[in-house]
Structure 1
């Protein structure tokens, strides 16, 4: 059985349709949050009333001045716009729900539910793709979704999520996770998540599902600023480093809309599939401490990612976009010289 199966025309059509609607849904949600989130009301200050805007997720407020016909019209337009965007979000959400069963019937619902819920939470907090990037096996869901293929299930099986933390970026901690960082965000998805006693970079829930916080190996940054963590809370995770992740912050990002097991869309931001393949191959050839069974799987995943890169996405390992990686790292692509290039006639 092939490790990579091309989706049929009907599946591709339905997936593209839902992704387009998901883009509209995300845009409407952004509009609802940033343009119409929070409240706008007249509030009494002394003997006068003032029109006050309190934005979503912010303790600040803005005054539009005393009550006048103009400020009353400003309030009216705000309330009308807020109602319209709320209706638009609800309508698009219903469309996604209606189409989820179709994607599920076509076996396009791939991402495990808990993984999907974690991705959505990180995305809602605006951490995904800014300070946090998905690594490891879960990245394959993004690659297969973008390429319009299905990867053999055995290569996707995992009970954890690895996230890479870019400690150079300032993280916006707000709302119910303020001060509790990544563990607080995970607990808003599943209250049983806790930092594990002997692995301060890992949070696990009662079923043993784990989330690992990683950072690239950077001795200079560690010496200057100390441990990389999302908050100062004692129960929050402390990032660990791995040799193979040293160059990942210089790697291009890769974004795709995937689908969870119920058929609902999930945004995933990970590393470029070429970098994924190179990193996995580096681990195979250089990490002597790696479990032999895991190393075998690493090699299989590297080859599958390289095949998707060249045959289905039409990307090149010689792309200048990868120039931030060391030459010795990029030269590992020679291991897949037998992987065929993209065949346009095979896309459908």
Structure 2
């Protein structure tokens, strides 16, 4: 078996951390309603209510009972929302210490920071999903297990861009023209693009962020990173999304949105069967496919590997069950498709 099941104590610790992070998301959303500030400004002897958001000011109206109530409501609401947010952040810090002590802090520091940043700016799951080994942290968190470290080692994080969506950053703070590159630098200031590979950024420790997509396009006119076309991933992009919250190396929660674990397992099988696949990667592809399929079969009964349950998947995935070498390989791992 290539994974270990969490104890009741570790499972409860993980659940508590997830609940705190969901509360943080709620508080962030509430705080956005009170973004910016309000103040009174005297113009030609008359007072006007002004709202400022990210350096942009707009007039609300002249002083009146209505605008005074708007000002009062905003000021009181903002203070209350800020206090609630501070309370959740304090709970998060305490829970992080518990998670570290329990040794369930799994996601490495760099991808953890990047994924939190993407989630905070509304990109994770909307424009970008996680593929590759880092997706397995979501599967193990959802299943209450830990994969063996031998199949989890990786020095990059693969993000797949949905080419059907434009890159629109719904950011609380002002975002520079660098787009995604700017967000990466907020997570780690040492990130820089690798210009000979426009889909890749790397930090000072050699950690890579790769942007790939199913159809040719760029991330946007203002971005310094462009996604590389990988048409063979069309079916993976079309598969249902799967999301869960894992724990970063610092003990704090990490949101992850990725393909359905069944799609992940089947794609890994497909990769391992390709003649041009790096031989050094084929073994790990097969090991990850087996591990994820085993977890789905034994720990996720709501996601069976049955034809009726896979009808929502693209035909390229269902076709893997044909009587061919790949189909026999899948069944050798105990995967019924």
TM-score (norm 2): 0.89
Q: Secondary structure at the match of 2:130?
A: strand
**Partner residue, 2:299:** 312
- Residue in structure 1 matched with residue 194 of structure 2 by the alignment: 196
2:27 aligned with 1:28, yes or no? yes
Write out aligned runs for 1:44-193 (5 A).
44-55=42-53, 59=56, 61=58, 63=60, 65-173=61-169, 175-193=173-191
SS at match of 2:77: helix
Where 1:16 maps in the other structure, the secondary structure is: helix
CA distance in 2, matches of 1:15, 1:206: 31
**Structure 1 unaligned runs (5+)?**
342-348
CA contact (8 A) 1:306 1:336 kept: no
CA contact (8 A) 2:38 2:49 kept: yes
Are the counterparts in 2 of residues 28 and 89 from structure 1 also a CA contact under 8 Å? yes
3-state SS of 1:266 partner: strand
2:319 aligned residue: 328
Is the 8 Å Cα contact of residues 310 and 339 (structure 1) preserved in structure 2? no
How many Å separate the matches in 2 of 1:60 and 1:275?
48
Alignment of 1:166-245 (within 5 A): 166-173=162-169, 175-216=173-214, 218=215, 222=216, 227-233=217-223, 236-245=224-233
Counterpart selection for 2:36 from 35, 38, 42 = 38
Number of equivalences: 326
8 Å Cα contact 1:303-1:336 kept in structure 2: no
Matched, 1:277 2:283: no
Q: Which sections of structure 2, spanning at least 5 residues, go unmatched? A: none
Asked if 1:255 corresponds to 2:251, the answer is no
CA-CA distance at 1:330 after TM superposition? 6.0
CA contact (8 A) 2:194 2:202 kept: yes
Measured at CA, do residues 60 and 305 of structure 1 come closer, stay the same or move farther in structure 2, by a change above 3 Å? farther
Distance between the aligned counterparts of 2:180 and 2:58, measured in 1? 28
* Alignment partner, residue 303 of structure 1: 290
| Preserved contact between residue 244 and residue 282 of structure 1 (Cα < 8 Å) | no
- For residue 210 of structure 2, give the secondary structure of its aligned residue in structure 1: strand
Aligned with 2:255 (options 267, 274, 286): 267
Superposed displacement of residue 302, structure 1: 0.8
RMSD after superposition: 2.2
Contact 1:147 1:313 (C-alpha < 8 Å) held by counterparts: yes
* CA-to-aligned-CA distance 1:55-97 (integer Å, 9 cap, x gap): 5x5857462x221233212211211111111111111111111
Q: Kindly tell me: are residues 139 and 333 of structure 1, through their superposed partners in 2, closer, same or farther at Cα, counting changes over 3 Å? A: farther
